[in-house]
Amino acid sequence: MTRDRRQFIRGQWVPQTAKLPSPDGTAEIASILVQTRPERLAAAERAIRAIEGAEVFQRDPKGKLVVVIEAAGSDPIGETLTRISLLPDVITATLVYHATDAGEPAPKEDIAS
């Protein structure tokens, strides 16, 4: 199986999971670092804020933005990352963190009184 960046982002680099859809109720969260020229920072931030599921969490006046993406399933995460990286004011968009929450409750532990 040939692997590419899109397969990696979507969690499809393992052959057993490549054909499986994301289970219902699965929430995905990702953090990306976006770099732009300082004079284009405001334009890049406006464009990112216009994308559904994307939130600018931190802003550095030197041209860096920390963006958090929340979505149901992994496909929207990869699509949003690609969409941000293709914005005209963006130099790079790098995936920093990615997590999946299947919505299962945490096991309860007995606490001795």
pTM of the model: 0.69
Q: Which domains are assigned to the chain?
A: 39-102 (3.30.70.920)
Compute the half-sphere exposure of residue 24: CA atoms within 13 Å on the CB side of its CA. 0
Share of the chain above pLDDT 90, in %: 52
pLDDT tens track for 44-89: 999 999 999 999 999 999 999 999 999 886 578 888 999 999 999 9
pLDDT for res 18: 47
Q: Where are the beta strands (DSSP E) in 1-113?
A: 27-35, 54-60, 64-72, 92-101
Q: Is 24 exposed, middle or buried (0-12, 13-18, 19+ CB in 10 A)?
A: exposed
| Distance in Å from the first CA to the final CA of the chain | 54
